[in-house]
Amino acid sequence: MLSYQHHYHAGNHADVIKHWVLLECIHYLQKKNKPFDYIDTHAGAGLYRLDSQAALKTQESLAGVLKLGELNLPGLEHYQRAVQSDLANNQYPGSPLLAKRLLREGDKAWLFEMHPQTLRELRDHCEEKRKCHVQAEDGFRGLLRLLPTASRRALVLIDPSYEIKEDYQTVVDIMAKAYEKMPQTVILLWYPVVERARINTLEASIKKTNMRNVQLFELGVDDDDNPGMTASGMIAVNPPWTLAQSFQATLPNVAKRLSRDEKQRLRSEVLVSE
């Protein structure tokens, strides 16, 4: 059993970019009345206390979502509205709970988690009959089992801990297989920048697949040669056509606020064209 627990990291700068992108994609998909399936391969607990022993030990939320304060920016509304009430109660919602709260009639969520304690928390926070399904199963296998979905519309979040270094290649293989099974799927891959060389290899591997319409969105808080996670990003397959423009309009001020030295560090690139 892997040891990673997001309770130590909830609300950090990586959650800000990850959840901003996720919510933008959900709201875009919901512009159509047709239902869709949300699939979260590494769901986590769903809700985290920011005053827990784990969160207080790292205090990462202080350099993340709490650092945004009352920053009201056009384009940030979906994210700030989604976390506002939780922050007022000293807690932070994870991706499965953010998605669950937005599910409409006919929409479904499939949440995968393997860690026993985290799985219990996920069920408490997110499980709902006929709408939000919690699965004690490897998320990579579960994703490929579910595709193609009956709805023919799906949003997938792949968010492993990368404790296993092979995951940097595994995620590419899984994305390519998912794309082959259902090419119209919106696939979001979160990645951490701890060693830039690994991300360079990840990007190169994605470019070698058959996937089309792949874009990258990254937010950095420090220079790459400094220790720790200096940036993180989302690689999006079939993203909303509005996402790149929204990113460029909204994230510069966010990046400057979250930066450790007030420098703006952002990347928005097309990895593979349509």
State yes or no: 133 annotated in a binding site.
Answer: no
For residue 63, give the DSSP letter: G
Cα distances (Å, whole numbers) of residue 90 to 11, 99, 123, 258 = 11, 20, 21, 19
- Catalytic residue chosen out of the listed positions 107, 159, 167, 222: 159
Sheet of 231-237, strands arranged across: 132-135, 108-112, 37-40, 154-158, 186-193, 231-237, 214-220, 265-272
Q: Is 159 a catalytic residue?
A: yes
Cα distances (Å, whole numbers) of residue 243 to 28, 123, 124, 126, 230 = 9, 31, 32, 27, 23
Which residue shows structure tokens 């397959």?
237
Q: How far apart are the first and last CA of the chain?
A: 39
State yes or no: 19 annotated in a binding site.
Answer: yes
For residue 173, give the DSSP letter: H
* Residue 222 main-chain phi, psi, to 5 deg: -160, 170
Neighbours of 90 (CB within 10 A): 13
Which residue shows structure tokens 């390519």?
176
* Residue 115 main-chain phi, psi, to 5 deg: -70, 125
Measured distance CA(134)–CA(267) in Å, rounded: 34
Overall residue count recorded for the chain in this entry:
274
Which residue shows structure tokens 């360079």?
200
State yes or no: 139 annotated in a binding site.
Answer: yes
Give the distance, in angstroms, between the CA of residue 115 and the centroid of all CA atoms in the same chain. 19
State yes or no: 95 annotated in a binding site.
Answer: yes
Q: Which amino acids are annotated catalytic?
A: 159
Please report, in range form, the residues annotated as the binding site: 19, 42, 95, 113, 138-139, 159
Please report, in range form, the residues annotated as the binding site for S-adenosyl-L-methionine: 19, 42, 95, 113, 138-139, 159
